[in-house]
Structure 1
């Protein structure tokens, strides 16, 4: 009986080895679809069974993916189509992830959108006096402006 080249992933070391093998196949010979499909299936099965990012908040998860894939914040700027200031604010817990950013990240890293669509605390100093600061992400000094005529603007309080 012939031995199998790949088997169900049982531990982290085997998982890492299969991930490296998959990356090698994708870099060198993307035409070898059967092995790529098999490795992808085995890796996804292990990920589903050993979902280690459940306890991570979305920003920690994003930073982990960036580290694993060797990405920098400037790489996210191009892929997500957002400014580098917005990426910086996201990674420093100053702005939340938009729906479009969540969709693109989930697609890029092949995870469900739910992984990035979870509540987490924002660190906006202007809002630290609010009890539920995680939903407040607009600085306090920005007030809505009501303009009756362009020359007569009333700042609402």
Structure 2
């Protein structure tokens, strides 16, 4: 059953491929609103969010991949946290880590594991390889 909240989401931001950075900014705003609501979102809203995050990831991977290429994994993580309007605590459950470990991952004091990279890639709908350390200097 489609809820009124879901209809309002579609009216506010139809689920279509993201076309430019301005459109991307609007997509981020809607995603942030839903993410902040946490467990209060209904199943159809959660499905909407999943598709929206997928579109955000697809657009960012295609149009901003070069920006990411020169970033260290922790810098990329900082960027994703900021760009998605998240706080470190929002990703603790995703990664299954304590606040201390999360802080070390974000600051670069601790390296992301392969498992972390996979979880982050899945969460942000991007390739996990983005979060792996670069093997050579560019």
TM class by shorter chain equals: 0.5 to 0.7
Higher helix share: 2
Pick from 56, 59, 62: which aligns with 1:49?
62
Pick from 78, 95, 106: which aligns with 1:80?
95
Q: Secondary structure at 1:95's aligned position in 2?
A: coil
Q: How many residues align?
A: 116
Structure 1 stretches of 5 or more lacking a match?
121-157
Higher strand share: 1
Show the 5 A alignment for 1:134-153: none
Structure 2 stretches of 5 or more lacking a match?
1-13
Tell me if the contact between 2:58 and 2:126 (Cα under 8 Å) persists in the aligned partners. Answer: no
What per-residue deviation string (whole Å, max 9, x for no partner) do you get for residues 58-81 of structure 1?
111111111233322233333311
Q: CA deviation at 1:87?
A: 1.7
Q: CA deviation at 1:111?
A: 1.0
Q: Which stretch shows the higher mean deviation, 39-48 or 100-109? A: 39-48
Considering only aligned residues, what root-mean-square deviation do their CA atoms show, in Å? 3.5
Q: CA deviation at 1:96?
A: 0.9
Pick from 96, 101, 108: which aligns with 2:116?
101
TM-score, with structure 1 as normaliser: 0.53
Does structure 1 residue 17 correspond to structure 2 residue 32?
A: no
